Amino acid sequence: MIELTRSEDAVFVSWLEARLSELGIRAHILDGFTCGAYGGALSAVQRRIMVDDADAARARQVLDAARGVADDV
């Protein structure tokens, strides 16, 4: 497994997990409970999005496309 990205943004993490799932890529979200348990008060703790090594290249394409859209807004 590799770390695809980290984020404090629960909406982005949820969207990314759903988008990866649509493509048959299983994402594992780490530290989600820790972030949620403190209601976002711990900004130092970010959710880590992990994917299998075999899916890393396709997952990075999805992440890069999402960043490209965010840059256009």
Largest CA distance in the chain: 35
Q: Rounded to the nearest 5 degrees, what angle is found at the Cα of 66, between the Cα atoms of 34 and 42? A: 20
Give the per-residue pLDDT at 13.
Answer: 92
Give the per-residue pLDDT at 36.
Answer: 56
* Phi then psi dihedrals of residue 40, to 5 deg: 85, 5
Name the pTM for this structure.
0.78
Q: What is the pLDDT of residues 21-61, one digit of tens each?
A: 999 999 999 987 665 555 555 566 789 999 999 999 999 99
Residue 60 in tokens: 């990075």
